[in-house]
Structure 1
Amino acid sequence: MLQDKLVRFLMGQKEWKRSGGKDHVIVAHHPNSLLDARNNLGSAILVLADFGRYPVELANVNKDIIAPYRHLVGTIPRAKSPSYNERPTLVYFQGAIYRKDGGAIRQELYYLLKDEKDVHFAFGSIGGNGINQASHGMSQSKFCLNIAGDTPSSNRLFDAIVSHCVPVIISDEIELPFEDVLDYSDFSIFVRASDAIKKGFLLNLLHSIKCEEWTKMWEILKDITHHFEYQYPSQPGDAVNMIWQDVAHKLSSVKSDLHRKNRYWRSQLLVKTD
């Protein structure tokens, strides 16, 4: 009922009618946000975590903004970030293992990796001491797996970033925040799902990345961590500031399109009155 009231209120406003909502910004970050209203509000710029539960005609990278999840683990201070040799675990993953749809790959990877040396792959949750365990585990690991779950992305990627644990992204449909500014391949490893489930492929790939190459990615992670911090008041370059920059960029394109469409409104009005 509340969502229905919201839709009727918005669509009744002259500001909405002026552009059909195209110059409005709606934060619908959680994948289930505005579940009933979203079909009516898709003309607006949506701030989303990913497009996993949206049809392409409703949400897409050309129109909308991908914003990071808020990380759950604490940010490691730059000066205290463990180096390559101070991280004894090669690969870390802790989270829900049995997922549906695109997340079924987690189960396959679990059976491939659970008994491998220097690999931590275990079930975990944010309950109890889960966040503290993940924070310690990521800070002691060279690589942290970000595997598709019920949706293409999760807060786990951003936990890895603030832990300066090189993310290994196994999620073919993922859309990433601020990718017009950041080249994730500078500080992350991308692996296709079809390759990741080949026996030996993932570990061979990660073992091939030696200290020097890993350290370059680690240094970049320390440089870009602030882009994923939500702060109030916002600071230059933090997540809030980066989102507003994206909004300004999207609105500029929207306004340009609207202005083009308005070029002949006076002459069209005259034709109608004649």
Structure 2
Amino acid sequence: MRRLLHGTRNNRSSDNNGGFFFFCYRYFKWILWFSISFYFFSSFLNNPTSTSIISRTTVYRTKLASRALIEQSFVNSSHGVLFKGMKVYVYDLPSKYNADWLSTNQRCGSHLFASEVAIHRALLRSDVVRTLDPWLADFFFVPVYVSCNFSAVNGFPAIGHARPLIAAAVDHVSTQLPFWNRSRGADHVFVASHDFGSCFHTLEDVAIADGVPEFLRNSIVLQTFGVTHKHPCQEVENVVIPPYIPPESVRATLEKFPMTGRRDIFSFFRGKMELHPKNVSGRFYSKRVRTELWRKYGNDRRFYLRRQRFAGYQSEIARSKFCLCPLGWAPWSPRLVESVALGCVPVIIADGIRLPFPSAVPWAEISLTVAENDVDSLGDILEHVAATNLTSIQRNLWDPSVRKSLLFDVPILEGDATWQVLKALAQMLDRSHKKPSDKNVFSTSENEK
């Protein structure tokens, strides 16, 4: 129609005798305008709530009107109901806080600490909760990649830059926009995807001594670290998240080794197992648990234990019935996610560990927990389970929704790990410092009813 009208204009302007066409054009345009206006006006009058809408729209915030109307529609969708209409604003920080680290070390987008990258990317592409207007936000995501330089190829951790980097980011957002100071950071979200999370250190005694940085104590931290007992590194509002495993690697492995395929390995572990556990720091890795595993079961045919790296080790997990998940420096391990994702029953050997997303992942029904002091009895424990309820555990474990809950997809998939993070944040909406006038699109004072 638009092309037709423009064409009519062009003909009129180019035709010296175009009076008749010009008259038809104007008459047609007037009829069209009148018809459309009459239709909307009659529809409006037939709406019983039209009068209240008129009075309410008079107090609507002009600056935010168009965006608020669009975003408010999500409240009525299934997603909006699930997240209670929650909105998240993602700070656009200078690249020195995130992108520069990724360009320097490509591994930080795919290694076990990469949830900080994946969550950032997923939120940027979300049309469910992300808002581009900070005044409409309930939470503010601060994308600082502190773990990009955490684990170099040589295995030596480097995270001394973490505290000053985050401190600089906080200084930046608090001076550029008013939202940090408005809430003292209570509605701001960070990711700490390394060993002891919000304490930002790789060794527990140093992490405990340092504690959570003062400038983060009011904020929300998404961290892989979590324990059931009191610990300085979780003395902050926190959500336990899984370590990062690339979803594409899991899917590629499952294409070659289906979940219900042959599992000819009884018990599997590949990773660091020191014969002499005292390392250069003078500390004992894995609290000697991995050393005891090697000493006790290294020559046991039932146990497939390997100390060397192997790029295709996921194929070994997919062939295994039980996958050992002993603690490392911290209680959590990427093997927790890999074993669940590939259908191998995780055997968790980490006293007091707090596991991610318990409302979505029925850990008691899909895994085994063995006390660190009971490693010597591990063989008998696994034999008993294999003879009694292994099939039942596997049936629960192979539910696709369980696997999805622990994998970070980009863009967000319903039920995936970022989705579970958003569900957790939706339970914290009382921390939102959005003004009452922002929370309610329309004013409902007695004088305006």
TM-score where L is the length of structure 1: 0.78
The Cα shift of 1:5 comes to 1.9
Q: Which residue of 1 aligns with 2:299?
A: 115
Partners of 2:336 and 2:344 in 1: CA distance: 10
Which residue identity lines up with residue 252 of structure 1 in the other structure? L
- Does residue 42 (structure 1) correspond to residue 217 (structure 2)? The answer is yes
2:396 maps to 1:220: yes
Task: Sort the Cα spacing of 1:212 and 1:237 in 2 relative to 1 into closer, same or farther, 3 A.
Answer: farther
Give, in whole Å, the separation in 2 of the partners of 1:33 and 1:58.
7
Match of 1:9 among 159, 172, 193: 172
Measured after TM superposition, the shift of residue 23 of structure 1 is 1.2
- Give a deviation string over 1:233-256, Cα, whole Å, max 9, x none: 11110111111111221x224349
Q: CA deviation at 1:77?
A: 5.5
- Aligned partner of 2:171: which letter? R
Matches within 5 A, 1:199-218: 201-210=377-386, 213-218=389-394
Relative distance call for 1:210 and 1:2 in structure 2 (3 A) is closer
Whose helix fraction is larger, Structure 1's or Structure 2's?
Answer: 2
Write the distance in 2 (CA, Å) between the matches of 1:231 and 1:81. 20
CA contact (8 A) 1:27 1:46 kept: yes
Identity %: 23
Equivalent residue, structure 1, for 2:69: none
Is the CA contact (8 Å cut-off) linking 1:82 and 1:139 kept in structure 2? no
For the residue of structure 2 that corresponds to 1:68, the secondary structure is: coil
Tell me the distance in 2 between the aligned counterparts of 1:88 and 1:78: 15
Q: Does 1:239 align with 2:239?
A: no
Q: Does 1:163 align with 2:163?
A: no
Give the one of 195, 201, 214 matched to 2:374. 195
Deviations 1:55-113 (A, max 9, x none): 834525x8211111122552425992235xx2122110001113635442111111011
In structure 2, the partner of 1:59 is 234
Structure 2 spans left out of the alignment, 5+ residues: 1-163, 202-210, 278-283, 437-449
CA deviation profile, 1:3-45 (whole Å, cap 9, x unmatched): 4422322444531222221111111222377839950213211
Q: 2:265 aligns with which of 63, 86, 89?
A: 89
Instruction: Give the CA deviation at 1:205.
Output: 0.8
Given that residues 186 and 431 in structure 2 are in contact (C-alpha distance below 8 angstroms), is that contact kept between their aligned partners in structure 1? yes
Give the corresponding residue for 2:355.
176
Conserved 8 A contact 1:160-1:167: yes
Please identify the structure whose Cα radius of gyration is greater: 2
In structure 2, distance between residues paired with 1:111 and 1:101: 15
State the alpha-carbon separation in 2 of the partners of residues 59 and 122 from structure 1. Answer: 33
CA RMSD of superposed structures (Å): 2.9
Bigger mean CA deviation after superposition, 5-14 or 240-249: 5-14
Q: 1:3 to 1:24 in 2, by over 3 A?
A: closer
The 1-side partners of 2:268 and 2:417 are apart by: 25
Cα gap change, 1:78 to 1:135, in 2 (>3 Å): closer
The normalised TM-score by structure 2 is 0.49
